[in-house]
A and B are shown apart, each in its own frame.
Chain A
């Protein structure tokens, strides 16, 4: 079946640290991959996406590369800010357009 596994949180980093949040997936065929973010008190919103192997999605300094050989889509940022504190969800789209989410990773950035 289709599933997404992401690293458990919370993840606590100091400002300007390097961030990696791991995500691996199981899927039939070649899904599109997404990272969504939920800031405190706000709804889920798309952060970035990649639609085929070796694509790199990027937004707001975050990047993730679609790796078919390792079925991974790890989220990275070179220098995090306090405002990046949020819950991050890795997700994939199935052949019939359902979006399946991981459990989320809470990120705390300390000033």
Chain B
């Protein structure tokens, strides 16, 4: 168990640019989650996958956000035409399926949009 890995750790980009983040979950976990966390707030649900199928995308997410999990392994989160309001910590977590299964989080990718 090498844990959940996220890359990059930090990303600084200019407004209007596209960014992509990567998450490598724990290998035997079939569920993968993306959350966003801003200062002083709890993690806010963005989307999640079971294997390669995206189960739900938060209504809070605009069409500029897209996530994929090809082959049910790693996942990518892309933000197009970034805005300053996108600045946040983006967290990835994985788990086994089931309501009692806890999430295992990565250390996150901190995005700063200037």
B33 partner, pick from A43, A45, A49, A99, beta carbons under 8 A:
A99
Q: B97-110: contact bitstring with A at CB < 8 Å (1 yes, 0 no)?
A: 11111111111100
Within 8 A of B (CB), among A56-109: 89, 91, 93-104
Q: Which chain A residue has the least Cβ–Cβ distance from B33? A: A99
Quick one: given A43-B107, A44-B91, are A93 and B41 in contact (CB under 8 Å)?
Answer: no
> Chain B residues near A51 (CB, 8 Å)?
99-100
B45 partner, pick from A34, A95, A99, beta carbons under 8 A:
A99
> Chain B residues near A101 (CB, 8 Å)?
35, 42-44
Interface centre among B48, B99, B108 (most CB of A within 10 A): B99
The answer to whether B42 touches A95 (Cβ under 8 A) is no
B31 within 8 A of partner (CB): yes
The answer to whether A44 touches B99 (Cβ under 8 A) is no
The answer to whether A97 touches B99 (Cβ under 8 A) is yes
The answer to whether B102 touches A104 (Cβ under 8 A) is no
Quick one: given A43-B108, A44-B91, are A99 and B42 in contact (CB under 8 Å)?
Answer: no
The answer to whether A93 touches B42 (Cβ under 8 A) is no
The answer to whether A49 touches B55 (Cβ under 8 A) is no
The answer to whether B105 touches A45 (Cβ under 8 A) is yes
The answer to whether B100 touches A43 (Cβ under 8 A) is no
B40 within 8 A of partner (CB): yes
> Chain B residues near A4 (CB, 8 Å)?
42
Interface centre among B40, B95, B103, B106 (most CB of A within 10 A): B103
Within 8 A of A (CB), among B86-102: 91, 93, 95, 97-102
The answer to whether B100 touches A49 (Cβ under 8 A) is yes
A46 within 8 A of partner (CB): yes
State the B residues within 8 Å of A (CB): 31, 33, 35, 40-45, 48, 55-56, 91, 93, 95, 97-108
